[in-house]
Amino acid sequence: MISRTLLSWAAAALSLASIAEGQSFRRLGTCPTLGCVLPPDQTDFLAGQYFDIRLEVHAPVNGSEARGRPTPDTAFTFTIAKKGRRPQSAAALFKIAEPQLERWNFTWYEDYFALDAKTPSLVNVASKIYRRVALYEPGDYTATLTYNNGSTTTASWLVRDLVQVKKTKNIVLFIGDGYICL
């Protein structure tokens, strides 16, 4: 399930992680590093299908991931490259204005010990959301978020032709806030 609010991402991550791992939770389900690209790696789209891209750069203030720099990098950059072509800034590719930077904080429990002790870890976030964008040419794309002086998070996206899709099963299609499986 995909949802717009970080809270439901975090809640889903928390419940999935607690089932899968038993002892420790996750800061954000699909984002093991401090730079998050959503939709994540290995997502399939249909050509022309509208979707939202959400970028988040996390700065853990305390807890095991804290690096002594509680201000998230707000100068992060984001490019998208179709295979064989040069990366382009997402705003240029989609021909839209650069989205406004958003800031918020959230807390999460790293494990049952922290939960029992009621010591949530605080994370400060810088984010941008590209709403209702679409990729029209089928093919392989690489989306790259660059943050914290050269750290990168990449996501490989596959944009499928509708004709191809009709012959294939188990494609995940995003519609608004939800997933529909064909």
Ligand X SMILES: *[C@@H]1O[C@H](CO)[C@@H](O)[C@H](O)[C@H]1NC(C)=O
Q: Is 5 in the site for ligand X (CB under 6 A)?
A: no
Cα distances (Å, whole numbers) of residue 31 to 28, 46, 132, 138, 160: 5, 23, 22, 26, 24
DSSP state for residue 76 in the 8-state scheme: -
**Member of 3, 8, 15, 62 binding ligand X (CB under 6 A):** 62
* Tally of residues, the chain: 182
Stretch that binds ligand X, among 5-13, 90-98, 113-121, 128-136 (CB under 6 A): 113-121
Does position 73 interact with ligand X (CB under 6 A)? The reply is yes
**Is 24 among the residues that bind ligand X (CB under 6 A)?**
no
103 forms part of the interface with ligand X (CB under 6 A): yes
Q: According to CB under 6 A, which one of 42, 77, 119, 156 is a site residue for ligand X?
A: 119
CA distance 156 to 82: 10
3 state SS of 74:
coil
Interface with ligand X, residue 40, by CB under 6 A:
no
The binder of ligand X chosen from 40, 63, 87, 99 (CB under 6 A): 63
Q: How far is CA 39 from CA 45, 67, 83, in A?
A: 10, 26, 18
Q: Where along the sequence are the contacts to ligand X (CB under 6 A)?
A: 61-63, 70, 73, 103-105, 114, 119-122, 124, 148-149
